[in-house]
Amino acid sequence: MLHVIIYIVDALSVDSALQIENALKELKSNHPYEILSFRVIPGKGEITILVRENTREVIDRIKNESDRILERLNLKIQQRIYRTANCQYNDTKILALMLILEALINGALYNPSEITSRGTFKLIRSLFEKDTNFRMAAFKIKKIGLSKEEFLTAMTLYMMGRSDVRSIVKLCSWTLNIDSEGVIKHLRSLESRGLLEIQGKDTVSLLPVFNTEMDEILSILKDSFRNFHKIAEGVNFDEVLKEKNDESIYILDQGSIKKLRLSKVTDAITLNPEASSLREVLPLILYLLTESRGKVISKRLFENIVSLLAELIK
Amino acid sequence: MEYIYFFETEEPLILKFDLVPLDELLLHEEVIEDHLKKLSCAIKESGVISDPVIIDDYSKVVLDGTHRVCVLKEMHLEFAPVVRVNYAHNAIQLKRWFRILDGSEKDIISVLNNLNYEQVDLPSINSDLLDREIVIAKKNSAFIIEAGKNVFEKYSALREFEKLLRKKCVRIDYVTENEALESLSQGKIIIMTPRIEKQDVINFAKKNLVFPPKSTRHVFKLRPVFLNFPLSLLKELKAAPEARKEVLREFLLERIPLEIEGYLTIDRFYEEDYLLLFV
């Protein structure tokens, strides 16, 4: 169960907002499990704290400590609202994995689109196709006989486990860039093939047999990533990097958007000894940044994609 | 980006978040100048559009957020953060704003005398008539204003009536139906406004005919609030309008959507069953 504490205080100056943010950061570091997130909106005097239920005592302590922070900063509390909350998580980690998988199976297993016919992706695909594990995963996916969208919908369901329709729909629509009607169509198609079951009004899950199949495919694809450094050894990426380096993307970080040339991303990875493992998948990173998501990507998602790739190729 | 909600109805309510060009939006209500100025200052000070504008997905008529749209236009921005909804959905109710009049009874009656009206006993009025006509009520008496053939003309007459009242220094407070009826029982004079149908809102807006301020009151079973979309992002979109959906998608990805029970006062009273807010 989640709880939200909303404070409305007198309009905050930017300085006061920063002071509150710092104090709340400290409070969060003292309660890393309990405080999930917080947001301070300066001009509006609005402070929202999202708290995970532990014990009543902990929640009360967070409330009291938040009150004291505002008191210390001489802020008059106009309203304090305390409510339980239902949350539809934006699971950025699952989304990052789905995007990587989508990139991997896109074109390689299904009809290549115009986008995937470009050099960057062609190279990635040809490298993966050299790997026995990837070919085995490709064979298994083709055998199931689903469209790319249906397969990725099923994979999302697998990763989320038994879940409510709306969370599935949201994550699938974010991965596949389609609206909810499209996702529901794919869910219905999976249902008509007897691959998933719907319990009650809005809970769906894959049937156990299909779940096992998904488990196998995902684990084979992960093995394929682990082998990647061997396959990519000695491959000259210069040509594909040249293709991408002149392009730019927009990184969205909280309320601001920054234009970033991809050559900077390339430099950050190729020139940083700590990121040496990522050099092998640099073309894949560039593909994910520019083609799979369009030209804008949230910083959080970007970081998740990079750290997940680093983990996968370990 | 879409958020789906299942209520007791068969059809789920889908909130479709979007950034749409301001010039595509149709307004159905006029603004209150004072309110517009206050909101404009608040938006400039906070640097965010707190709540998304709610629009009908099919007609692009603004259901909630007329003032926000006007502030964004004044700021020469091109896009607005909106939530597109199926207006026909049962989870969206169209209610009315009644008025409480605070001023001398003599002045109110003198203004009333400029209009055609029929005086009757309040209890004798049936609900159908109360839904169709402008009725000014005081204790047990009621004045049914005879004006206009359709609901738009009736509201236009109401606009003129209110102007005359203000000239006589009568204060007009806009309140919910229940609040007004409670005030009536306490001896206040109230105006009961005619019911507007959803189709009227769409049809008149399409003809660029706008109702006076505070004609419609939309209550959403689930109201999206506290999106706090930064003006800086809206300004950036000017340079890259083609990327606006991507910007919104990635912005939403950075926020945690929370559903909380409504019927609460935060910055104002929310009579919705649930609120969807973003932390």
Whole-number pLDDT of residue A114: 54
DSSP B17: E
**Token digits for A24?**
């709340």
How far is it, in rounded angstroms, from Cα B121 to Cα B115? 18
- Which residues from chain A sit within 8 angstroms of residue B12, using beta carbons? 166
Cross-chain residue pair B250–A37, CB shorter than 8 Å: no
How far is it, in rounded angstroms, from Cα A243 to Cα B77? 35
Residue B15 DSSP SS3: strand
Mean pLDDT of B3-16: 81
AA letter at B242: E
Whole-number pLDDT of residue B219: 96
Residue A45 has pLDDT above 70, yes or no: yes
Cross-chain residue pair A81–B257, CB shorter than 8 Å: no
Whole-number pLDDT of residue B158: 94
Greater pLDDT, A43 or B68: B68
Whole-number pLDDT of residue A268: 85
Distance from CA of B254 to the nearest CA of A (A): 7
Q: What is the pLDDT of residues A201-216, one digit of tens each?
A: 678 888 888 888 889 9
How far is it, in rounded angstroms, from Cα A129 to Cα A137? 10
**CA separation, residue A278 to residues A202, A250, A305, B54 (Å):** 40, 21, 11, 44
Put the strands of the sheet holding B257-261 in their side by side order: A35-41, A46-52, A2-9, A77-87, B257-261, B274-278, B222-225
Q: Could you state, in order of their start, the residue ranges of all structural domains in chain B?
A: 2-93+201-278, 98-192
Distance from CA of A195 to the nearest CA of B (A): 23
Cross-chain residue pair B279–A173, CB shorter than 8 Å: no
Lowest mean pLDDT among A145-154, A236-245, B90-99, B270-279: A236-245
Q: How confident is the model at residue B71 (pLDDT cuts 50, 70, 90)?
A: very high
B46 → closest Cβ in A43, A169, A301: A43
Which among B171, B105, B174, B165 is positioned nearest to B139, based on CA atoms?
A: B105
Q: Is B247 on the interface with A (CB under 8 A)?
A: yes
* CATH class for the domain made up of B2-93+201-278: alpha beta
Q: How confident is the model at residue B55 (pLDDT cuts 50, 70, 90)?
A: very high
Q: Across chain B, what does the average pLDDT equal?
A: 91
**Alpha-carbon Rg for chain B in angstroms:** 20
- Which residues from chain A sit within 8 angstroms of residue B3, using beta carbons? 88, 166, 170
How far is it, in rounded angstroms, from Cα A174 to Cα A277? 28
Greater pLDDT, B254 or B239: B254
Q: Is B95 on the interface with A (CB under 8 A)?
A: no
- Which residues from chain B sit within 8 angstroms of residue A295, using beta carbons? 240, 243, 246
Cβ atoms B154, B215 nearer than 8 A: no
* Torsion angles phi and psi, residue A7, rounded to 5: -110, 135
Mean pLDDT of A271-276: 78
Cross-chain residue pair B6–A166, CB shorter than 8 Å: yes
Whole-number pLDDT of residue A89: 66
Q: Is B239 on the interface with A (CB under 8 A)?
A: no
Mean pLDDT of A147-163: 85
Residue A193 has pLDDT above 70, yes or no: yes
Mean pLDDT of A227-247: 76
Q: Is the dihedral of CA B157, B161, B167, B172 positive or negative?
A: negative
Q: Which of A47, A88, A93, A302 would best serve as a mutation to test chain B binding (most B beta carbons within 10 A)?
A: A88
Alpha carbon B188 to its chain centroid, in Å, reads 24
pTM, full prediction: 0.87
Distance from CA of B240 to the nearest CA of A (A): 10
Lowest mean pLDDT among B74-88, B218-232, B255-269: B255-269
Which range of A221-230, A278-287, B28-37 scores highest in mean pLDDT? It is B28-37
- Which residues from chain B sit within 8 angstroms of residue A174, using beta carbons? 1, 249, 253
Q: How confident is the model at residue B15 (pLDDT cuts 50, 70, 90)?
A: very high
Cross-chain residue pair A90–B3, CB shorter than 8 Å: no
Q: Which of A8, A179, A204, A257 would best serve as a mutation to test chain B binding (most B beta carbons within 10 A)?
A: A257
Percent of chain B with pLDDT over 70: 97
Q: Across chain A, what does the average pLDDT equal?
A: 82
B257 → closest Cβ in A36, A84, A88: A88
Q: How confident is the model at residue A144 (pLDDT cuts 50, 70, 90)?
A: confident
Total beta-carbon pairs less than 8 A apart between chain A and chain B = 147
- Which residues from chain A sit within 8 angstroms of residue B266, using beta carbons? 6, 8, 79, 81
Whole-number pLDDT of residue B82: 97
Q: Which residue of B has its CA nearest to A87?
A: B258
A8 → closest Cβ in B47, B254, B267: B267
> Which DSSP string corresponds to chain A?
-EEEEEEEESPPPHHHHHHHHHHHHHHHHHSTTTEEEEEEETTTTEEEEEEE-S-HHHHHHHHHHHHHHHHHTTPPEEEEEEEEEEE----HHHHHHHHHHHHHHTTTTS---TGGGSHHHHHHHHHHHTSHHHHHHHHHHHHHT--HHHHHHHHHHHHH-SEEHHHHHHHHHHHHT--HHHHHHHHHHHHHTTSEEEETTTEEEE-HHHHHHHHHHHHHHHHHHHTHHHHHTT---HHHHHHHHT-EEEEEETTEEEEEEHHHHHHHHHS-GGGGGGGGGHHHHHHIIIIISTTEEEHHHHHHHHHHHHHHT-
AA letter at A7: Y
Percent of chain A with pLDDT over 70: 94
- Which residues from chain A sit within 8 angstroms of residue B249, using beta carbons? 174, 296
Q: What is the pLDDT of residues B137-179, one digit of tens each?
A: 998 889 999 888 899 999 999 999 999 999 999 999 999 999 9
Whole-number pLDDT of residue B1: 79
Q: Is B10 on the interface with A (CB under 8 A)?
A: no
Beta bridge partners of A51: A3, A35
Q: What is the pLDDT of residues A85-126, one digit of tens each?
A: 888 766 788 888 888 888 877 756 665 555 555 666 677 777
How far is it, in rounded angstroms, from Cα A94 to Cα A101? 10
Whole-number pLDDT of residue B244: 81
Q: Which residue of A has its CA nearest to B249?
A: A174
Residue B63 has pLDDT above 90, yes or no: yes
- Which residues from chain B sit within 8 angstroms of residue A85, using beta carbons? 258-260
* Torsion angles phi and psi, residue A255, rounded to 5: -95, 5
